[in-house]
A and B are shown apart, each in its own frame.
Chain A
């Protein structure tokens, strides 16, 4: 039977209601988390409540000094997360190794990826007065990958699992010496998958061959990361740098502009904007090796962009960065417009500048 909606009585929201909504408390900052004092048993049943229970770090936990089972890593290009600095480690299970098969990096069950997000008080001294905000673990269990966000306390003595996420006010001085205040948003557990998603399975982003087939400053010296793993008995199937895909660091100004732009889009966008990612709905695919102009957004009209389209017709209008939706959305912090949708409440000026330069260099 058809519902007759026309008979539903309706109330027009009063002006008072509107203004009461507007005046809701804003900028509520996550309260300090209670730390459970009794020690947690490291019984191998993940996730642990406390980060310290994993025993990843030696000495004072806030120094993030890895134990011998952790390998530090860094993708060639980094995902922008509100200028947070990151220290990343991988722990492969004892006596097991990763495998490269058809240029896919396969990590054994029991692998844990550890990513610490921190801010120095002053970016000109990036190693001093550090405040760690959160540590995200990706754990490869028999159920596949799972993500767990841990939020650090103000004393920097512990981080506690918080599946619902949170919010922290962060202050720092940027490289220009300007004081910055941001509301850092810690994603809830399921938001992690907004980015870490391949065909609706949770998946690492930076731990892929194309990102790690690149040099890193190990304590033992600068070396290709995949070569280092292989040398230490942690990787099988590595045939040398030239025989696998590799990406560049978009910050490396000696590289070609187009390659730098594509590297930037790959690490910042392509986890969603690819055929197996959540943004496949848009038809906009931004992987490093994308060659089809329409998939890259050239003269492509938006689909479900809503406010994100601004006043513009195309994702990329060649030669006109200021009339392209891509730069418009990168250059906004307004939820509903800003891209990426998560992990960014500030504008990445350098990233916007790079993509602008690239679009402006395209032939009209």
Chain B
């Protein structure tokens, strides 16, 4: 079967019903690989347990059917090396207990050249690790029914000095590449597709996301700050030279037909390119933001979720944002109607019902700073070429559902700049 037919068929079957696309694309077929014997599987589990500082764990060019987790515990200078994404495959399809397939804790750890499939929770999680590099790893789910897929594919959390380079993350029920509560981060040269969220930077400091492709997700690239976490608020993120395209996949974070739940990602309307939520100091430039049917870019404050918006050392507002020199292309598709934010954009945007937007701003601002949003109190700065031809909408939502208004006028947000400083030069050696 040629892939194009399969995709076409799936669009035909599901696309029409849900008005959102759906993908089961795999970059290769792991079922053809020779299978690791019980002894070879046990050796891999043992190697993770017994490896000593400075050691290398080899993952042979085999298909490993794991029934237990692979956990690297508090080791230093370890390399976990496969023979290639399409050669060394670790499957957690038969894992019966444990929150993730591979778990890494330590210092200066590299994992490269392998694939991880079908973990019931997260694919690979690194926590409390200073110096963690994911290079050329592919993390995916092969279930036909994506509702069974796991949460995050590549998941560093509470880490320092994180590099994600040349990786592929697909079909996760939350974010494919998710960096949480970490500092000093590079995500580059990677591909995220078929996920609910492609790449997500959450409650992080000092991150650069560049040269990636985020396509065919419900949302392409997200920068969030969520309340009530040990790392309470993050700042300083640059997103540049990425392709954020065709992110029109259905949001399968909850079952089809079910609405959003308390997981913020369940609210992302399919057709979202880049989404900022309670984000601080973000610069977005030189990206190709193409054919995302709801909006290319969304700037939102946490209040829009409807959840309690107070937490210590944390602000619900998005502020200090600099958007410039990106390329946009709209589609003729109908924007999302399955999520409230999609409905808001589809129905209330300033350019006419069911029109795709390039940039939307929820217009929620801190009235302690100014009584008038036209003074741009949250410092949202937009300098795009051909701004007059873009579909820009600023909403007025401060009085709730009864009085929703929208405006095309982008001028209050022009003629300003925000200086976002990131420094990831310390990661060059990783």
Contacts and interface: CB of A to CB of B under 8 A. Distances in A.
Interface string A1-22: 0110110101111100110110
Given A281-B158, A306-B151, A194 B98 contact: yes
Nearest to A338: B97
B3 A335 contact: no
A8 B27 contact: yes
Contacts of B305: 301
Contacts of B222: none
B414 interface: no
Given A13-B26, A281-B157, A306 B230 contact: no
Contacts of B31: 13, 17, 20-21
Contact of A190 (B71, B97, B127): B71
B50 interface: yes
B67 A167 contact: yes
B96 A311 contact: no
Interface stretch (B14-22, B260-268, B383-391): B260-268
Given A21-B31, A193-B73, A336-B151, A301 B97 contact: no
B30 to A, nearest CB: 9
Contact of B26 (A11, A167, A313): A11
Interface residues of A, number: 64
B229 A283 contact: yes
Contacts of A301: 226-228, 262-264, 305, 307
A265 interface: no
A11 B158 contact: no
Contact of A185 (B71, B97, B144, B168): B97
A10 B26 contact: yes
Contact of B181 (A281, A294, A314): A281
Contacts of A109: none
B11 interface: no
Given A11-B3, A283-B230, A305 B24 contact: no
A187 to B, nearest CB: 8
B317 interface: no
A78 interface: no
A347 interface: no
Interface string A277-289: 0101111000000
Interface residues of B, number: 76
A334 B97 CA distance: 9
B38 to A, nearest CB: 9
Nearest to A26: B94
Contact of A299 (B151, B180, B308): B308
16 contacts: A10-B28, A12-B3, A13-B24, A17-B31, A193-B71, A194-B103, A275-B230, A283-B230, A303-B180, A303-B226, A304-B178, A304-B180, A305-B151, A306-B152, A311-B258, A336-B150
Given A280-B230, A301-B263, A24 B93 contact: yes
Contact of B263 (A163, A167, A302, A344): A302
Contacts of A295: 228
Interface string A188-212: 1111011000001100000000000
B29 A163 contact: no
Contacts of A12: 1, 3, 6-7, 24-26
B81 interface: no
B316 interface: no
Contact of B261 (A165, A193, A283, A313): A313
B49 A342 contact: no
A204 to B, nearest CB: 16
A185 B24 CA distance: 32
Contact of B127 (A20, A165, A278, A325): A278
Nearest to B99: A341
A307 interface: yes
A310 interface: yes
B335 interface: no
Contacts of B24: 12-13
B228 A335 contact: no
Interface string B197-217: 000000000000001010000
A225 to B, nearest CB: 30
Contact of A335 (B98, B157, B262): B98
Interface in A314-355: 314, 325, 334-336, 341-345
B29 A5 contact: no
Given A164-B46, A341-B97, A311 B254 contact: yes
A183 B73 contact: no
Nearest to B211: A2
Given A3-B166, A281-B181, A335-B121, A163 B50 contact: yes
A190 B73 contact: yes
A286 to B, nearest CB: 14
B144 A163 contact: no
Nearest to B175: A304
B64 interface: no
Contact of A200 (B25, B122, B128): B128
A168 interface: no
Nearest to A167: B67
Contacts of B6: 12
B128 A6 contact: no
Contacts of B98: 191, 194, 335, 341-342
A24 B72 CA distance: 27
A263 to B, nearest CB: 24
Contacts of A24: 65, 93-94
